[in-house]
Amino acid sequence: MTSAHVLNPSEHIVDPDDEQRHQPDAESLWNESYYADFVQEDGSFGGWLRLGLYPNRHVAWWTAWIVQPGQPGVCAVEYHLPVPPGTGLVSEDPAAGSRVELVLGSPLKEFGIRATSMGRALDAPEHAYGTDMGTPVHLEVDLTWTTDGTPYHYDLTTRYEIPCTVAGRIAVDGQERTVRGQGQRDHSWGVRDWWAFGWCWSSARLEDGTRIHLADIRSPGFPIGFGYVQHSDTVEPVTELTVSEEAGPHGFPTTGHIAIQPGSFEFTLTPVAFGPVLLVDEDEGRTSRFPRAMVRYEAEDGRVGMGWIEWNQPQQALEERTGP
């Protein structure tokens, strides 16, 4: 169980100019990250997508997972795309058949991802950690995230989160599906060392429209929590946060519990479809397992909702706690 101390909130206002790219510093692991996810309105499928830029390592990371409870998922992962020049947001490798474009519409109101890339259809999500390459597929994404709440900037780091509705289409080997649902997007910039410590991140929309977001940072000796509870007319920063989970095979949590203040919110969470990736630091040989999952929330008062959750599980940090 992890109990995270939450520092006093500030105004959490997001500068619209921060939608654009930022000037990196000299740190090797300086990273600029655009994340976005969605859950179809009936919960039948969902996905998460990320473009992460490591300009000092001259690579861009592209990750896309499309999941469906009880069915094989589709995973597209590329860790050597080119960093877009200047302030651009288009990364492409014609030889690999990959093109990822981030579309910044009206600042803090609309954001799009247009992408084509090769992927794999995996019979089991844990195959993303191993050598089973699955069946090659062609993935196309044309999705738009429209703000459905209040953009929210963290206190201690350069990062903001935005609850959204999501619409558009995805296609796998030409088989097209219409997306209409809800999700979350975020944007961060600064040093990101995936292999230093663990965390749990989650966001969800409840059936009454309440938006929940949390980040439980599991830094040894200095746990920190962030988050919010948004209603139609209020935004309440999280002041206390406790997150726990039960690990199953492959390190995939099977269930979890969240307690949030203010409001004495308590939730049970159940992952319903996993889209994990293995993160490798090629410069230093470190690895981290990163199970991300579409998740069902159930509040103690009976309200239910859907969203996404992730756990970062660095191997080095795990071995320091438990032994090799």
Q: Is the pLDDT of residue 3 over 90?
A: no
Instruction: State the pairing for strand pair 198-206/175-191.
Output: unpaired
- Summarised one tens digit per residue, pLDDT across range 146-160 is 999 999 999 889 999
CB 305 within 8 A of CB 97: no
Query: Alpha helix (H) ranges present in the chain?
Result: 315-322
Considering only CA atoms, which of 203, 183, 33, 171 is closest in space to residue 102?
Answer: 33
pTM above 0.85, yes or no: yes
Beta bridge partners of 137: 119
CB 89 within 8 A of CB 83: no
182: three-class secondary structure by DSSP: strand
Binned at pLDDT 50, 70 and 90, residue 232 comes out as confident
74-102: average pLDDT: 97
Distance CA 3, CA 209 (A): 27
Q: Is the pLDDT of residue 51 over 90?
A: yes
Binned at pLDDT 50, 70 and 90, residue 70 comes out as very high
- Summarised one tens digit per residue, pLDDT across range 191-210 is 999 999 999 999 999 999 99
- Compute the mean pLDDT over every residue in the chain, rounded to the nearest whole number: 93
Instruction: State the pairing for strand pair 235-237/135-147.
Output: unpaired
- Summarised one tens digit per residue, pLDDT across range 103-141 is 999 999 999 999 999 999 999 999 999 977 899 999 999
Look at residue 220 in the predicted model and tell me its pLDDT.
Answer: 86
Token pair 């084509």 in the structure block, residue: 116
CB 12 within 8 A of CB 237: yes
Q: What CATH topology corresponds to 2-322?
A: AttH-like fold (2.40.370)
Binned at pLDDT 50, 70 and 90, residue 8 comes out as very low
- Summarised one tens digit per residue, pLDDT across range 304-323 is 999 999 999 998 654 544 44
CB 143 within 8 A of CB 121: no
Look at residue 87 in the predicted model and tell me its pLDDT.
Answer: 95
Look at residue 2 in the predicted model and tell me its pLDDT.
Answer: 43
Look at residue 18 in the predicted model and tell me its pLDDT.
Answer: 98
Token pair 């990163």 in the structure block, residue: 290
DSSP assigned state of 7: P
Q: Name every residue whose Cβ is closer than 8 Å to that of residue 32 and which is 6 or more positions away in sequence.
A: 21, 22, 24, 52, 53, 55, 187, 188, 189
Q: Is the pLDDT of residue 39 over 50?
A: yes
How far, CA to CA in Å, does 231 sit from each of 54, 73, 160, 222, 228? 36, 33, 18, 30, 10
Look at residue 9 in the predicted model and tell me its pLDDT.
Answer: 47
Beta bridge partners of 201: 215, 310
Q: Is the pLDDT of residue 173 over 50?
A: yes
User: By percentage, how much of the chain surpasses pLDDT 70?
Assistant: 94
Distance CA 35, CA 48 (A): 8
